[in-house]
Structure 1
């Protein structure tokens, strides 16, 4: 009798376990009543001034260890769980309004971008899980565009931590009294031509100094110099351009903008750049480095 009781209890436990599993899976599913009733484009590469925008996002801290699902367009199938992509960020194309049972909810249609730059995964993510900017794990992220940083301090944290920014860190130390400017860095990443007009720089800055000969050593050169060798070249070029140690240390009234992009993309979409300028107005707090 005891043997049969054990068998009955085992079968009951198995059925109960399967029921719970099915129930948990059902929580990650949706019915087909979800309908998109509005869609707004959020990718903000509209002007050279675009930064701190709505298209670069990451999971809020309170959700980073929880199940956060990425859905298909009809909201009937879970495609990914963001818990499986802890160091990634998201590049959104649009913000969409879903209607379900009279209730409206906002979702981002976005690509998951991994630390290695893979962006093949795409889906819909509820906006409540996300916040502006890159994933803050900058020690695992490289060659980020300035358009996704939220302020000067955020950009400085990236330069200080990212493995790709070794030379950029050295440049900031050569101008110890110049504050880092995200806006100037952003403008410089799109425009390094020393012969071009200063627009739109002149809307925010004056006395712009374009150190393009110096910036040429931010990225790999044809002679395949190491990071240490490029830093040496930068110091030598600064001196030859008249920016001695004493002069650089005296430029506390200038801010500095710097951009060190992916060498595989440089000169195609973005450019290596170092700019100094006097700010006409500062719309956000700046920080020293």
Structure 2
């Protein structure tokens, strides 16, 4: 009997607790904002013009930042009002509408747009009567975008290399770089863009690339009139130029003779004074004969050697150079000469090789911080070969 009484007591206590707790839960749920989607908007143009809105002049509305609420059915009041921004402070911003919703709480309700800025860094709810259709008439507005899906090279036109050519950030409010100071840079293009400023449309291209071949990429908008397609034949100021980024033998030889990191290469060229540096043979040297573990080209795919015969390689010298990558250039040249002698290439024989061209790439302990190409730290490539051009 005592057990039954005890059980009934526990049951009554539980019921009493439920009666106390349930109204609180109900009130908490009732205090949430209910969200009803009235319309979902679909972007129909690359520029987003069909869903573009901007703040009405003089609006005092607040945009409530809610980045994760696009499909929400309910939102806690504390979450909805956690962060607000004054729309009047964003008059240069064009807002892109994702949905139109009705938000309810108790007996009140209001209609909102769920919007984001172009780059998605600000997302949230704003009253529909605070926005006006169309791009903002202030600042720089992207009114046209054509995406470029190819990995071609672009560079500053020769006529603009002595002029200020600025790379602008996303909002065209900050200069990222002046390409006047980086005439040797190559870039990839991701888009052709039309920007409107003060009612006037101007054409831009969005470019990405390293300014010196070894540093982290810059990216931004550049006036299209200053840019041309194709590989850059000017390598002024470049710390490193990939073997596939040369136009022909002319710019390749100029780079060997003037490149800031080509001092060791120039010393090697002196060992073969009658052998012409050859770009195509150099590509063969890099892609076919530089698969050493320490080489930055260790995983390259071999290419055809068509056009050349009697190719002479020097793997023993390469192996020695990789083992002594931190040594001085003087030590390296002395080592190369010694190993050439052992191979039977005496000084007189070097100088008699007038029928052989020279394929060469020297990356001599160059520092990289180029994450876009997975290049970090010190890198090396020591490869040179001789080959006779096949003129048949």
Q: Normalising TM by the smaller chain, what interval?
A: 0.5 to 0.7
8 Å contact from structure 2 (residues 208, 219) kept in 1 = yes
Which secondary structure does the structure 2 equivalent of 1:62 belong to?
A: helix
Q: Tell me what 1:210 maps to.
A: 313
- Partners in 2 of 1:200 and 1:237 — Cα distance? 27
Secondary structure of 1:160's counterpart equals: helix
Aligned to 2:93: none
From 242, 247, 250, the equivalent of 2:352 is 250
Which of 188, 192, 207 is equivalent to 1:97?
192
Residue 221 of structure 2 is aligned to residue 124 of structure 1: yes
Distance 1:64 1:119, change over 3 A: same
Q: Cα offset for 1:240?
A: 0.9
Matched, 1:184 2:293: no
Gaps of 5+ in 2: 1-137, 293-300, 368-374
More strand by share: 2
Q: Secondary structure at the match of 2:312?
A: strand
CA distance in 2, matches of 1:184, 1:232: 25
Q: Give the deviation of 1:79 after TM superposition.
A: 4.1
**Correspondence for 2:232:** 133
Structure 1 SS opposite 2:262: helix
Contact 2:363–2:379 (CA under 8 A) maintained in structure 1: no
TM-score, with length taken from structure 2 = 0.50
Superposed CA offset, 1:135-170 (max 9, x none): 442xx4333322222211211111212232222111
CA distance in 2: counterparts of 1:220 and 1:79, whole angstroms: 46
Against the structure 1 CA distance between its residues 69 and 154, is the aligned structure 2 distance closer, same or farther, given a 3 Å change threshold?
same
Describe the superposition over 1:160-194 as per-residue Cα deviations: whole angstroms up to 9, x where unpaired. Answer: 12232222111111111111111221232233258
* Contact 1:111 1:120 survives alignment (8 Å): yes
Are the equivalent residues in 1 in contact too, given 2:176–2:220 (CA < 8 A)?
Answer: no
Q: Which has the higher helix share?
A: 1
Correspondence list, 1:190-269, <5 A: 190-192=287-289, 199-216=302-319, 221=324, 224-263=326-365
- How far, CA to CA, are the matches of 2:164 and 2:180 in structure 1? 11
Q: Please give the alpha-carbon distance, in whole angstroms, between the structure 2 residues aligned to 1:107 and 1:279.
A: 41
| Aligned partners of 1:69 and 1:79 also within 8 Å | no
Supply the RMSD in Å over aligned alpha carbons. Answer: 3.7
Distance, in Å, in 2 between the alignment partners of 1:143 and 1:219 is: 18
String of CA shifts for 1:102-150, please: whole Å, max 9, x gaps: x9957252124247x322421133454235326442xx43333222222
CA, structure 1 residues 199+61, in 2 after alignment: closer, same or farther (shift >3 Å)? closer
Contact 2:157 2:226 in 1 (8 A): yes
Alignment partner of 2:141: what SS?
A: coil
Q: Distance in 1 between matches of 2:155 and 2:321?
A: 28
Structure 1 contact 97–104 (Cα < 8 Å) conserved: no
Partner of 1:36: 145
Report the equivalent of 2:241: 144
8 Å contact kept, 1:175–1:249: yes
Structure 1 pair 31–167 and aligned structure 2 pair: CA distance change class (3 A): closer
Distance 1:193 1:82 in 2: 35
1:52-91 aligned at under 5 Å gives the runs: 54-55=152-153, 57-72=154-169, 76-80=171-175, 82-83=177-178, 86-87=181-182, 89-91=184-186
Given candidates 209, 216, 236, the residue that maps to 1:111 is: 209
**Matched positions, count:** 234
Q: Using CA pairs under 8 Å that are at least 6 residues apart, name the structure with larger relative contact order, 1 or 2.
A: 1
Query: 1 CA distance for matches of 2:364 and 2:327?
Result: 16
